[in-house]
Copies of this chain bind each other. A is one copy, B any other.
């Protein structure tokens, strides 16, 4: 048995506009790394948090990385304890799945360390235990893509039904993150509790259209479908220059645009790496002109999920 295992889990875009609470996809170029180490004392503890968000709580009950590992340990009587070292590559509260990546990387590392070799579905159920801390609700649209990679549809939660969409190749994503923090839990509180039937029809039509466009490689349909009539109207005012960034992205040829997670990150989809790159730079310039620093990345759709680092 190894004494320590290190795992990486990528950042992810969730919600994906009309895919509110049901869709997400993994990103290349950002992620969290967690090292799990056997420890003499029982339970889960955090030895250190480094990287971009080192101010996170070391208290195991308050960090999303710990509950999944504790739940896994509970299945392994006599295994002792596990100590975690968390290296954050994803800003907290940025809207690209920071808490999910920590939970996923931790449970993947612990699974390899304890040699439990659980299937992805069971690892996901464990990781959800961590996400509850961050959002106050059970959702898996960051966790599933961070764990499994690719573009994920969470068809249902009761029971959990996660489907990896066979997305046509060629789609790229630009993500731009402004220098403001939005707490997921706060962003959920401002959502409407009831939705007019007319808007439900619009949202389901767009969600079905987005899936159709992604699977058939119809970029124009993807673009027409990236319309969110539920969360975006409630949340867009939280994000600086939201509409101006949309205009800038579309002017570069992006197919569509929306809020990543609950923001402040936004995403634009494009049909090529070049378009995604131009959209990212254009959106970032809009923020700079309004006095906001930002970071950005571009990524193909369909990248791999979490993995153990040799």
A78 and B38 CA atoms in complex are apart in Å by 89
Q: Which residue in chain B gives the minimum CB-CB distance to A230?
A: B200
Partner of A195, one of B200, B207, B212, B227: B200
- Beta-carbon contacts of A73-107 to B below 8 Å, as 1s and 0s? 00000000000000000000000000000000000
CB distance from A203 to the nearest CB of B (A): 6
Cβ–Cβ < 8 Å partners of A221 in chain B: 155, 163
Contact check, B163 vs A209: say whether CB atoms are below 8 A apart.
yes
Partner of A204, one of B157, B166, B194, B207: B207
A193 and B198 CA atoms in complex are apart in Å by 8
Given the known interface contacts A191-B197, A193-B196, the answer about A212 and B163 at a Cβ–Cβ threshold of 8 Å is yes
A166 and B213 CA atoms in complex are apart in Å by 11
Residue A301 lies at the interface, judged by CB distance under 8 Å to chain B? no
Partner of A155, one of B23, B165, B208: B208
Q: Which of A14-22, A121-129, A251-259, A291-299 contacts B (4 or more CB under 8 A)?
A: A14-22
Contact check, A205 vs B154: say whether CB atoms are below 8 A apart.
yes
Contact check, A19 vs B192: say whether CB atoms are below 8 A apart.
no
CB distance from A197 to the nearest CB of B (A): 6
Most chain B Cβ neighbours within 10 Å, of A19, A200, A208, A221: A208
Given the known interface contacts A19-B204, A203-B204, A204-B20, the answer about A153 and B197 at a Cβ–Cβ threshold of 8 Å is no
Residue A1 lies at the interface, judged by CB distance under 8 Å to chain B? no
Residue A201 lies at the interface, judged by CB distance under 8 Å to chain B? yes
Cβ–Cβ < 8 Å partners of A204 in chain B: 18-20, 22, 203-204, 207
Contact check, B201 vs A20: say whether CB atoms are below 8 A apart.
yes
Contact check, A224 vs B153: say whether CB atoms are below 8 A apart.
no
Residue A61 lies at the interface, judged by CB distance under 8 Å to chain B? no
Partner of A211, one of B19, B161, B192, B212: B212
- Beta-carbon contacts of A168-200 to B below 8 Å, as 1s and 0s? 000000000000000000000001111111001
Contact check, B21 vs A153: say whether CB atoms are below 8 A apart.
no
Residue A118 lies at the interface, judged by CB distance under 8 Å to chain B? no
A155 and B207 CA atoms in complex are apart in Å by 9
Residue A136 lies at the interface, judged by CB distance under 8 Å to chain B? no
Most chain B Cβ neighbours within 10 Å, of A18, A224, A227: A224
What are 10 A-B pairs at a CB distance below 8 A?
A20-B204, A22-B208, A153-B205, A156-B205, A163-B209, A194-B195, A194-B197, A195-B200, A197-B230, A211-B215
- 19 further A-B pairs in the complex, CB-CB below 8 A; given A20-B204, A191-B197: A20-B200, A22-B204, A22-B205, A22-B208, A153-B205, A153-B209, A153-B212, A154-B205, A155-B205, A155-B208, A156-B206, A163-B209, A163-B212, A193-B196, A195-B200, A200-B203, A204-B207, A207-B207, A211-B215
Interface residues of A (CB under 8 A from B): 18-23, 153-157, 161, 163, 165-166, 191-197, 200-212, 215-216, 221, 224-225, 227, 230
